[in-house]
Amino acid sequence: MSTLSLKIEEEVKNLPPRYLKEVLDFIDFVKQKAKKESDTEYLSKNAKLKKSIIEGLKTPLNECSDKLDW
């Protein structure tokens, strides 16, 4: 078992029981998040959007607006 795993186990053992449900909820949240694709993966799947982002990154700062177009 890794040092980190041992540390987590020790911390959980020392938690007041009333907080264990919150810890389990957080673990479930993290596991679900790990299953989802990252924003980068999602955006990379759209070729037009990917090209637009790359072109935007190449734009010099002096050509960028300092105001939002709302």
Phi, psi (deg, nearest 5) at residue 59: -70, 125
Within 10 angstroms of residue 8's Cβ, the number of other Cβ atoms is 14
Tens digit of pLDDT per residue, the chain (70 long)?
Answer: 899 999 999 999 999 999 999 999 999 999 888 878 788 888 888 899 889 989 999 999 998 888 887 7
Residue bearing tokens 């449900």: 21
Please give the backbone phi and psi of residue 57, each rounded to the nearest 5 degrees, phi first: -65, -25
- Segments making up each domain of the chain, as ranges: 10-55
Give pTM, 2 decimals.
Answer: 0.47
Give 44's contacts (C-beta < 8 A, 6+ positions apart): 50
Nearest residue to 8 (alpha-carbon basis) of 47, 24, 67:
24
